[in-house]
Amino acid sequence: MKKILAALAAGTVLSATPALAQDAQATFTGPRVEATVGWDKSRSGSSVDNDTTRDLDQSVDGLLYGGGVGFDFAIGQSAVIGAEAELTDSTAKSNTDGVPNTFNLGRVETGRDIYVGARAGLIIGSNALAYVKGGYTNARYNLVGTDGTVNLNQRLDTDGWRLGGGVELAVSENAFAKIEYRYSKYSEAEFDFEGQTPDSSRFRIDTDRHQVVASVGLRF
């Protein structure tokens, strides 16, 4: 009798395991929308001192905010891949207005950031997904410079790539929360002139960006 009960119990566990995997798989697939907030820091990737008389702050940091959309597909019983897009803005800025002889080194404000990429993850237990991500990012920086006489106000559009990773937690059948870190590298840029003036030619830059963000969202 004990052998029969043990066999029945083992069979119950084995039959439940695929069901749990399928439930977890369904939890992390399909279309999603999310709101994002977090810490944002941009910094010159160059170690060259661009001022011999004083120390200039070559970084800006602030609050990142925005939202994104995505769609995830199941791969087997424990893996997920997907595509995603995000639009964010940031309060990060630096202000050295009034400092003489620092033309183009006045106020720097971080503007909108467009990201398009993909992610891949592994399901952990029944309600968590660990993932890595990567893709293309286009960030805008608003620049105001002065030499005491002439003011310059321009928008700088930058192109780069982004890598990151995080953990997503299913808090209900349709709702989720996640936290992630991402690193972006910008190597090309152009000045975005307003009005009828064409944009400038593309040129090389060296800018790093670090972000730690949290998101909440819904699946459909």
- Give the Cα separation of 133 and 182 in Å (integer): 8
123-151: per-residue pLDDT in tens?
A: 998 899 999 999 999 999 987 765 555 55
Query: What pLDDT sits at residue 158?
Result: 93
The beta strand positions in 91-150, using DSSP E, are 93-94, 107-124, 128-146
Query: What pLDDT sits at residue 144?
Result: 72
The structural domains of the chain, with segments of one domain joined by +, span 2-219
Query: What pLDDT sits at residue 191?
Result: 81
- Give the 3-state secondary structure of 42-79: EEECCCCCCCCCCCCCCEEEEEEEEEEEEEEEEECCCE
82-130: per-residue pLDDT in tens?
A: 999 999 999 998 765 544 444 344 578 899 999 999 999 999 988 999 9
54 to 57, 59, 99, 148, 154: CA distances (angstroms): 10, 15, 11, 18, 25
Top pLDDT among 98 and 5 is at 98
pTM greater than 0.85? no
> CATH code for 2-219?
2.40.160.20
From the number of C-beta atoms within 10 Å of its C-beta (0-12, 13-18, 19+), residue 10 rates as: exposed
